[in-house]
Amino acid sequence: MAQYDYDLFVIGAGSGGVRASRIAASHGAKVAVAEEHRIGGTCVIRGCVPKKLLVYGSHFAEELQDASHYGWSVEGMKFDWSVLRDAVLRDVTRIETAYTATLDNNKVDHFLERATITGPHGVKLASGREITAKYILIATGAWPVMPEFDGVEHCITSNEVFHLEKFPERVVIQGAGYIAMEFAGIFNALGAHVTVINRSETLLRGYDQALRDRLLQITMARGIEYKFNCPLTKVEKTADGGLLATPGKLEPLKADVVLIATGRKPKTDGLGLESAGIELGPRGEIPVDDYSKTACDSIYAVGDVTDRIQLTPIAIREGHAFADSVFGGNKRNTVYDCVPSAVFSQPPLAAVGLTEGEARNKYGNIKVYSADFRPMKNVFASRQERGLYKMVVDANSEKILGIHMIGPESPEILQAAAIAVRAGLTKADFDATVALHPSMAEELVLMR
């Protein structure tokens, strides 16, 4: 039998790679992982975790404004970007340390350097060391897409936004997906003038139309400007150190920061996959089967690098299923139906299952129930913003096909509702559940 240095070598120590490493090691495998940046990957280091902390920080602007309606006198309010930024970066380091400890506690060797594939069972580290492994797992994630136009080098991506030296007063954001809308809400709440530029008229493609329309209405009322059908064509540096961003054929916009948030592509450049006979897909993704195996029997891939569903919990499940299948004697895969998702915009939205349009196309005969309400807190604080919950139901079976929500705390509420949709419950099951009053969540069982 062939002898290898490791049973498993993982390239990429993000959420999927770390989970796969830990579970494989728990099954008795000898495991190593290589990471060219920092252990923790996109989510922990430069993605959902630090971004959510910025969202929390930005919420205080609204809370402090509303405080007087609840009897509080708040004087001398002042925001210091450096305090929030540094606190976020410290917490990133704390979590990175915890991830590293997880690898150490499970006796997983880790190399803080780039690794590339040299063949079906070989990898080469940036230092020149060559290592063999019975199995190789690629979990390198995805990377921001940068468009091509004059002056794009003056722009930043979500990778750099957490390290801004000072808070920008004017922010131009290209893109209207979840990353763009989340940072638009953060900067707007903290006091910046935000302009969102998009190549089409659609924001948050894939979410229910009613929620997208409501978010557009509310964010415009909050002061975010939109320019549709006009992607950036040029960004110039000005004499005072600022930027001029030109959207389409419109007049240039003054900006301190231009953030490109036009999506993320699988990070596969220069991995050496051709040495193992693996060809990339049209978006640069690694094609895999239902069990995350590539065209090479000894090489697997999980997470965003496969471009299935780019969500951290999906990468974790794929990594876990891979380790159980290959090393645990329990062959299983990841199920992708009824995956809940959220956008931490302001207000946030969350969804699970089919949108109204998708349900009509698939089932034809459907029913749509909704609750359009003003959150209790907003009433007291004199805010006119309204929440909207939708439930899409198969008219024949009454089975719930999808739930879509926009309003305060929607992601927190949806998680429990997603279990019900995944379990195949019906509208009658929701109707039979006693409402938890007074709460926004009770609207889920009161929809008509």
DSSP, residue by residue, 160-225: TGGG-SS--SEEEEE--SHHHHHHHHHHHHTT-EEEEE-SSS-SSTTS-HHHHHHHHHHHHHTT-E
Using an 8 Å Cβ cutoff, are 306 and 286 in contact? yes
DSSP annotation of 424 reads T
Side chain identity at 27, as an amino acid letter?
A: H
d(CA 13, CA 112) in angstroms, rounded, equals: 9
Q: Is the dihedral of CA 356, 359, 363, 367 positive or negative?
A: negative
Please state the separation of Cα 345 from the chain's center in Å. 12
d(CA 443, CA 297) in angstroms, rounded, equals: 50
Query: How many other C-beta atoms can be found within 10 angstroms of the C-beta atom of residue 355?
Result: 21
User: Which residues, in sequence order, are bridge partners of residue 343?
Assistant: 349
d(CA 427, CA 151) in angstroms, rounded, equals: 53
Residues 6 or more apart whose Cβ sits within 8 Å of residue 104: none
- The tokens for 49 are 């975790």
Q: How far apart are the first and last CA of the chain?
A: 66
Q: Which helix (H) or strand (E) holds 300?
A: strand 299-301
Residues in the chain: 448
Asked about 437 being catalytic, the answer comes back as yes
Residues 6 or more apart whose Cβ sits within 8 Å of residue 44: 14, 15, 92, 95, 96, 99
d(CA 287, CA 279) in angstroms, rounded, equals: 8
Distances (CA, A) of 364 to 211, 356, 409, 422: 21, 10, 32, 21
Spot the catalytic one: 37, 121, 193, 437.
Answer: 437
User: Which residues, in sequence order, are bridge partners of residue 33?
Assistant: 10, 110
Annotated active-site positions, please? 437
